Amino acid sequence: MNAAILTAVATFAAVFCALWAAHSVGDHWIQTHHQACAKGAPGWTGRIACVKHVATLTGTKAAALAALVWVTGLHLNPLTVVVGLLVDAVSHYWADRRTTLARLAKTLRKSDFHQLGDGMVAPCGTGAYALDQSWHHLWLFITALAIAAGGTG
């Protein structure tokens, strides 16, 4: 395996790990209770809460990538980092508006799974939560691929 391939694989792995950790922190520690409760609400109240959540989440991911670069000396292409984080942010907003992900689950015949559990008793133990997180993980993977594909600009 040549050095360019090893560098690309290592860059992808490091970026994915940083994004995964930042996603978990941003989605569970940084997000406010108000954002978590309101981001799926109809109208501007829900949209604004979701935008605020996605903004702090994206900031958390950017900080994790900055720490990765600072500690390891890894060079990332700034343009692909910005584009990757923007695509990730849009995908996160889309899913966190909740009705969109519920419609996707229905289209894919996953409504029964989506409706599993009691969101008031155990919001992180529901089918909706599992589908939400798996959606976000897919986009973290895509984002890491895009950033790694951008080279070390």
Contact 95, 132 (CB under 8 A): yes
Which one, of 130, 128, 97, 101, lies nearest residue 115 by Cα? Answer: 128
pLDDT digits 0-9 by tens, 82-116: 999 999 999 999 999 999 999 999 999 999 999 99
- CA geometry: angle 117, 119, 121, nearest 5 deg: 90
Write the single-letter amino acid at 27: D
DSSP annotation string for 100-139: HHHHHHHHTT-HHHHT-S-TTT-GGGSHHHHHHHHHHHHH
Residue 124 clears pLDDT 80, i.e. is over it: no
Calpha distance 125→54 (Å, rounded): 22
Higher-confidence position of 153 and 21? 21
Calpha distance 89→97 (Å, rounded): 12
Question: Please, which pLDDT band fits residue 1 given cuts at 50, 70 and 90?
Answer: confident
At 128 the pLDDT is 93
pTM score of the predicted model: 0.94
At 153 the pLDDT is 56
- The residue count of the chain comes to 153
